[in-house]
Amino acid sequence: MRGPRSNPAPHLGPVLAGLATVALATVAVGKGPPPRWWAPGEGRVFPQQLDYANAQGSLRVLLAGEPVATKGHPFFEPLGSNGRACVTCHQPADAMSLSAETARARWDATGGKDPLFAAIDGSDCPSLPQAQRASHALLLNRGLFRIERPWPPKAWNGAPVTPDFSIAVVRDPNGCNSAPGHGPAAGNISVYRRPRPVANMKYLLAVGFPFDPKQGYALPLDPDDGRMQSGNLMADNRAGNLRLQMDDAGTTHLEFRKRLTPAQVTRITDFEKRVFTAQQSSRQGGALDDMGAKGGPAHLRDSEPGALGSIGEPVWSEYAAWDKLSPADAARLTPEQLAFRRSVARGARVFRDRTFLITDTAGINSRIGFGNPVRNSCVFCHNMSQMGNDVAPGQVDLGTTTMPFADPWPDLPLFRITCLKAPHPHYGRVILTMDPGFALTTGRCADVGKITLQSMRGLAARAPYFSNGLAKDLRGVVDYYDRRYHIGYSEQDKQDLVNLMSVL
């Protein structure tokens, strides 16, 4: 039975605590809140803690160790010809990624003149009139950047790869796969993808297996130190270590005049490995690290990945305590807070325990010995403690870019893939896709549509979701999986999963 409510403070404690953390970040400069946007070369100090409000509550960014003076730092300085820096597309307020909402805010604030909208990839195609908002629609509406891959493919060291499939452009709404200088005939393919978060790196770099169990191959070795690579850095795994990823980003997205020096690579690597981010407070549930819960990035920062890249805890067990709140703790919460916290705990159980048939998914149902179909739950692929990415290296095709599972959006290119040797294990010999994914790295038809799974932390700060922005919100993520695998989630199941993802 609840006690009298003449004093509302105990019931508002978690919410006020969350708001206080945001306020602390705003008073530090003494003149109101600091700008959410980190502009290249502005020289701000990156502190040990940043808090940013979002629609679901607040996100926290922690920097392990000492603050970083960004003046002269290669992650924050515009070293290329287009005025961008690494931070341009990896904003702290967006969990070190970039949301479509933030892109729209920058367009409105600068009239489209921010370096974010550089023609090279911040527009749908460099040949379009750059001053027009419509020429940047994919970035503004879906948070997508143009990624130009060589065709035929090339390995990380530039060696040519002979593909076992041909590619034809079926539809090219933006001109970057058919206009002069663009497309297969010109030696390149343009696809459109979301920027991946640059945070929680010690988990993303952890290697869970000595081989890729999705394909049965030995893991590639890092060309710099000879260690096995996790394969979790890029959507199509075209760069296996941080240096190669920096080289790729520098020569394309940032249009660097010259390659980063070893000293600059070291400074960027040090910074990226020290950044941890996750949702810290919930608008509905209050603080995410009280009453036994371990939400927020502090637990990420202070834990160490062990066997299988995990820390030995079931995924999303951070919120197990909310499933068994004591009567005294429950009495401290408003009815709305209590209901939300119980929903989050149920969502974690649904995520771990609700099984369904996984079918026609390359990387799972083919060449791994599980069969087609195989019955499992969300944790079959999203299993790393605290992170939700896959401890097993390798890429998976969830159908998010490929017909018949993904609707062929009219604003994205559509390609026809024809397998020249063995047919694809699930699609047959001819495939329609908006993004061939990992196949543009390996040249293998069996890899069409495969994408690297990514961390699920900080989701509330970085909509939309999936590599191509297929889901505009968290409900869209749940609805896609429910439809793709015929799971049959109830409305309560769906809301519980949404609530869980909103606090990660």
Element of type H or E holding 54? strand 49-54
Query: In angstroms, how far is CA 235 from the centroid of its own chain?
Result: 9
Q: φ and ψ at 345, to 5 degrees? A: -65, -40
Q: Does residue 117 register a pLDDT over 90?
A: yes
Q: Does residue 308 register a pLDDT over 80?
A: no
Confidence of residue 307 (pLDDT cuts 50, 70, 90): low
Q: What's the whole-number average pLDDT of the chain?
A: 91
Question: What is the rounded CA–CA span in Å between residue 500 and residue 504?
Answer: 7
Question: What is the rounded CA–CA span in Å between residue 449 and residue 433?
Answer: 7
What pLDDT does residue 157 have?
84
Q: pTM for this one?
A: 0.92
Query: What is the third-level CATH fold of 311-502?
Result: Cytochrome Bc1 Complex; Chain D, domain 2 (1.10.760)
Non-local CB neighbours of 276 within 8 Å, separated by 6+ positions: 61, 62, 63, 64, 199, 200, 297, 298, 300, 301
Confidence of residue 370 (pLDDT cuts 50, 70, 90): confident
Q: What is the pLDDT of residues 34-78, one digit of tens each?
A: 799 999 999 999 999 999 999 999 999 999 999 999 999 999 999
Q: Does residue 215 register a pLDDT over 90?
A: no
Q: What is the pLDDT of residues 375-427, one digit of tens each?
A: 999 999 998 989 999 888 889 999 999 999 998 889 999 999 999 999 999 99
Question: What is the rounded CA–CA span in Å between residue 312 and residue 295?
Answer: 16
* 3-state per-residue secondary structure call for 276-296: EEEEEEECCCEECCCCCCCCC
Q: What is the pLDDT of residues 269-301, one digit of tens each?
A: 999 999 999 999 999 999 999 999 999 999 999
**Contact status, residue 443 vs residue 152, Cβ threshold 8 Å:** yes
Query: In angstroms, how far is CA 329 from the centroid of its own chain?
Result: 34
Which is higher by pLDDT, 10 or 103?
103
Q: Does residue 26 register a pLDDT over 70?
A: no
Confidence of residue 220 (pLDDT cuts 50, 70, 90): confident
What pLDDT does residue 8 have?
31
User: DSSP string covering 403-418, please?
Assistant: TTTS---TTS-EEEEE
Tokens representing 102? 């933030």
Peptide bond into 404 cis (omega under 30): yes
Q: Does residue 228 register a pLDDT over 50?
A: yes
Q: What is the mean pLDDT of residues 125-132?
A: 97
Peptide bond into 152 cis (omega under 30): yes
Share of the chain above pLDDT 70, in %: 92
Q: Does residue 430 register a pLDDT over 50?
A: yes
**Contact status, residue 210 vs residue 202, Cβ threshold 8 Å:** no
Q: Does residue 368 register a pLDDT over 70?
A: no
What pLDDT does residue 20 have?
37
Q: What is the pLDDT of residues 230-275, one digit of tens each?
A: 889 999 999 999 999 999 999 999 999 899 999 999 999 999 999 9
Q: Does residue 15 register a pLDDT over 50?
A: no
C-alpha R_g of the chain:
23
What pLDDT does residue 309 have?
65
Domain with CATH 1.10.760.10 in the chain: 311-502
What pLDDT does residue 208 have?
76
What pLDDT does residue 212 have?
79
Q: Does residue 312 register a pLDDT over 60?
A: yes
Q: What is the mean pLDDT of residues 201-207?
A: 91
Which of 304-308, 343-347, 378-382, 464-468 is the least confident region? 304-308
Confidence of residue 108 (pLDDT cuts 50, 70, 90): very high
